[in-house]
Chains A and B, each alone.
Chain A
């Protein structure tokens, strides 16, 4: 479904991606883990064409999106929802208008239909009654849930989540993960989740991949991933678990 082939990207002299290869299967949820600053967000932004690679290609349903621009690229993008790292909610719009935004901008649905969907999406993420608040008035967890609702509302075939739970307390992490899983069961999108939540992320993903030093060094089901012999993977899993135990 999404196939990333030999992706290279440098910023100035800093080589961030050094040949990433990754297949994201249709209808599955694939998690990408890796240390902070390792280029996970950069990888995600390549998939929606926000960053163009120096070399390599990304096929989405057979089309190399790194070669597309303008209308053709927008067409592909309309099938993709993105939950950005900080939520990326529009500060000048209310929660309601933020969630309605993708539908209003597409201009295909009637007002009443949009209203129904927004109300449902907000209650799905447990935010009924918050419609007329502004993002600045919400807590971090609420903002992430609004961002989730905004990504889900147009029922895209692909959803990319950039650290949807980072900075939240463990209970909220579970809540968000549950929401993602529910949505996935409801209409089976293809998902890519960038995450630091070990071990929680194993529960909601079909595949786990690790980005290290600009490359994917391990991919597998959560069980395979946890049994990996790769020292970096082992360290990463243990390191984070140790940290959690200490907390």
Chain B
């Protein structure tokens, strides 16, 4: 029993320690973002990096998400004789929910893991120490550009995901399910509001910050050795994915 409590106690303690450190890290990021000029070159490089790494997988998963949504949506709507509403169903599911979430998960897997590994390697090869010694704040030089790049690229990639998905759904509805060409988009125009697009936008903006925050933190605190970096990378992806889903629910409930 004593042993058991000890284990629980240690677990809770290290959880709070972790939370404390990751939120302090966030505070430092916020402080530096607003008090020092941005490293524009690094910021642009990271934007390119995110786009480059993730574009193909985003287009691919976006297309298939839209297609699957159309297929399954049609099956359900057909039962009520409401196939005409397939367009709005696909679009709303993508824009409000699946676009931001799936896109964020994909970008985490592709680009998030890569920035954790990259920063982890900078940590264990003492590049971060070298920056510090040259009086260059590593948070400013490495972390902030990543966070802002995430803030900019996540909504853009999500928009691409949504767009490709909507067209994927369109092709399935028209060519596989035999829906008339006009209804898909005209109904969509009728039912998708600016509000829905805003919900998707807020989600993807916040995912951009959350994912880059977690992934840079894990890399920044990677333990020494190659094992340390691979462990940090795995943990960054898992933690980011879990937090994406939790935050999606919380924000969804808040914005409904």
A46 within 8 Å of B (CB atoms): no
Contact B125 A88 (CB under 8 A): yes
Contact of B135 among A85, A92, A105 (CB under 8 A): A105
Min CB gap B42→A, angstroms: 9
Cα-based distance from A92 to B127 in the complex (angstroms): 11
Cα-based distance from A69 to B130 in the complex (angstroms): 17
A102 within 8 Å of B (CB atoms): yes
Given contacts A84-B129, A105-B134, 14 further A-B contacts (CB under 8 A): A50-B129, A50-B133, A74-B135, A77-B134, A78-B135, A82-B129, A85-B126, A86-B126, A88-B125, A88-B129, A88-B130, A91-B121, A105-B136, A106-B135
B52 within 8 Å of A (CB atoms): no
Interface residues of A toward B: which range? 20 to 34
Contact of A77 among B45, B125, B133 (CB under 8 A): B133
Seen from chain B, the residues whose Cβ lies within 8 Å of a Cβ on chain A are: 45, 118, 121-122, 125-127, 129-130, 132-136
A89 within 8 Å of B (CB atoms): yes
Q: Which residue of B has the minimal Cβ distance to A162?
A: B126
Cα-based distance from A126 to B45 in the complex (angstroms): 31
Contact A77 B129 (CB under 8 A): no
A101 within 8 Å of B (CB atoms): yes
Q: Which residue of A has the minimal Cβ distance to B132?
A: A50
Q: Which residue of A has the minimal Cβ distance to B131?
A: A90
Top 9 closest A-B pairs, CB basis?
Answer: A74-B135, A88-B130, A88-B126, A84-B126, A82-B133, A88-B127, A48-B133, A105-B136, A102-B134
Contact B136 A80 (CB under 8 A): no
Cα-based distance from A106 to B135 in the complex (angstroms): 9
Q: Which residues of A contact B134 (CB under 8 A)?
A: 77, 101-102, 105
Cα-based distance from A91 to B132 in the complex (angstroms): 16
Contact A92 B132 (CB under 8 A): no
Q: Which residue of A has the minimal Cβ distance to B136?
A: A105
With contact pairs A86-B125, A86-B126 given, residues A92 and B45 touching in the complex (Cβ less than 8 Å): yes
A-B contact pairs, 19 of them (CB 8 A): A45-B129, A48-B132, A50-B129, A50-B133, A74-B135, A77-B133, A80-B133, A86-B125, A88-B125, A88-B127, A88-B129, A89-B127, A91-B118, A91-B121, A91-B122, A102-B134, A105-B134, A105-B135, A106-B135
Contact B130 A84 (CB under 8 A): yes
Cα-based distance from A145 to B119 in the complex (angstroms): 24
